Each structure stands twice: as C-alpha cells, then as structure tokens.
Amino acid sequence: MGVTRLKRKDRKNKARANNKVARIKQLLLTPVIKNVDMDELRAQFGEAPKNKPAEETSAE
C-alpha cells in the first residue's frame, strides 16, 4: 500500500500557519506610545481616590 499525500490539506495547513505568523508580525509593527502627558490624563479623569489600607481577605 502506497503513501498518499493530502496536498490540499497540506497547503491549507501551511497557509494557516503563515497567516498566523503574518498576523503576529503585523501586531508587533504598531508603535508603542511612549510620550504620554500624565497630568493631562489625570485632568480628564478627575481626582484619583486616596489609597486606603487593603482589607485582608482570608479563604476560610
């Protein structure tokens, strides 16, 4: 019995893998925003709440 190759499925699997790699590369190409004016952002959202002591929760 000879070995049969599923050529169409092989092409589909390779295309799926290549598309996934291309999608990841495209997402990595987007630049990261580094220069952010924190004072302007805080003014948009208002005053930040004061930090309260964390309440400890026990898993009983």
pTM higher than 0.85: no
- Give me the tens of pLDDT residue by residue for the chain, a chain 60 residues long: 678 889 999 999 999 999 999 999 999 988 877 888 888 888 888 765 677 666 666 555
Q: Which two tokens stand for residue 11?
A: 């092409």
User: What are the two backbone dihedrals, phi and then psi, of residue 43, each rounded to the nearest 5 degrees?
Assistant: -65, -35
Q: What 8-state DSSP symbol labels residue 54?
A: P
Q: Which residue has the tokens 């390779």?
A: 14
Distance separating alpha carbons of residues 47 and 45, to the nearest angstrom: 7
Distance separating alpha carbons of residues 4 and 1, to the nearest angstrom: 9
Identify the pLDDT of residue 30. Answer: 80
